[in-house]
Amino acid sequence: MTTKTESLEAYKKAIKAHYEFEKQGKYSSFLINPSRAKLRQLCEERLKESNDKEDKLSFNLVFGFEYEAANRNKLKSLTDKFRPIETFLKGETDLSDIEAINITALLVDFKPRPFRVFNTKSYGFQPINEEFKIEKLAINEEETNKPSIKIQTSGPNKNLKNKIAIGFLGLIGLTSIGYTTKNMIAPDPQCMQWQKNHYEVVDCTNENQQGLLKQYDIIPFDENQSKLIKIEVSDTTTFFKNGNSLCWYCKVNGKPEFFNTHGVHPETGKALKPVTEYIINKYIKNN
C-alpha cells in the first residue's frame, strides 16, 4: 500500500522529470535557467492559458489573492515566493509545501495535478457503477418535441414494430455497457516502467518486480515520455529531415545512446539532446 508520503515523493519526481522535457518546449527561455522573475512571468503565462479552477485555487493558496491580469503588480511584489521553486528545479533544495509543489506542476505543465488529483489517479481507487438497468422508456412528445418510440400491441404490423423497438433499446443498452466495460477493462494508464528499450504501462502498486526490471522505477504515466524508444543507429540511418533532427541522444559512460524522440533518459534522468553532425561523425561514421 503506497503511503501519502511515498505518493508525494513520486509526484515531485514526476514533476522534475517533466521539467526536463518542458525545458525543450515553447517556454524553454523561462525554464532552462530559471530565476524567480522568470518563474513569476511563466506563472502568469500558464494561468492565462489555464481554465482549470484547481490551478487558480493553488495560486490563491500560495499567494493569498485570486489571479487576475489587474493583479500583475501585486504578484510582482511577491517574486521572492518563487525562490523555493527555483532552487527545487535547480536541484539545490527540496520542496515540502504541497501547494508550492502544485504551483511547480503548473509551471512545467505536469498533469495530473494538483497533488490531490495525482494521488487519486495514480494510487487511489475510483468507484465504478456496474449496474445497468433499463426500467422504462417514456418520452413526452409535447414537452421535448422529439419523436417517441411506441410499441404497438395490436394490429397487423405489431411484430415488426416490436422488433424494431426492442432492437433499439438493446442497442442503447449494449452501447452503454460497452463504454463502461471499456473503462473497467482498459482504464486510462496511470503508471509506466522502462523495460530494456521502451516504456510499458504497469500497475502503480506492483511490488513484485523481478530480475532486470527491478532496477527501473515505476513512475506516473506521461504520454509524451511513454513514446520514447531506444534505437540502434548506423551510418545508413537517416538522422535529419528538412534540417531537423530525427534522432536524440544522451551520453552514458562516455558513449551516446540514441532515441526516437525528445524527452529524458529513462535511467539517468538527463534531458536528451538532438543529434548533431559532430556526434554522428565521432561515434557512428568513424567506428
Give the model's pLDDT for residue 106: 96
Residue 132 domain-assigned?
no
Give the model's pLDDT for residue 98: 94
Same domain, 202 and 177: no
Domain holding 73, by residue range, is 4-123
- CB neighbours of residue 63 within 10 Å: 17
Residue 30 domain-assigned?
yes
Would you list the DSSP string of 79-145? GGGGHHHHHHHTTSS----HHHHHHHHHHTT-SS-SHHHHHHHHH-----------------HHHH-
User: How many folded domains does the chain comprise?
Assistant: 4
Residue 162 domain-assigned?
yes
Same domain, 103 and 25: yes
The residue length of the chain stands at: 287
- CB neighbours of residue 182 within 10 Å: 10
Same domain, 167 and 72: no
Same domain, 206 and 237: no
Same domain, 107 and 149: no
Residue 128 domain-assigned?
no
Same domain, 114 and 35: yes
Residue 233 domain-assigned?
yes
Digitized pLDDT (tens) for each residue of the chain, 287 residues in all: 567 888 888 889 889 888 988 888 889 999 999 999 999 999 999 999 988 899 999 999 999 999 887 888 899 999 999 999 999 999 999 999 999 999 999 999 998 899 988 888 765 544 333 333 333 333 444 444 444 444 444 455 555 555 555 555 555 455 444 544 444 444 566 788 898 889 888 888 765 554 444 567 888 888 888 889 999 988 888 898 888 888 989 999 999 999 998 888 988 888 888 899 999 999 998 77
Same domain, 198 and 217: yes
* 254 vs 81: CA distance, rounded Å: 39
Residue 19 domain-assigned?
yes
Residue 154 domain-assigned?
yes
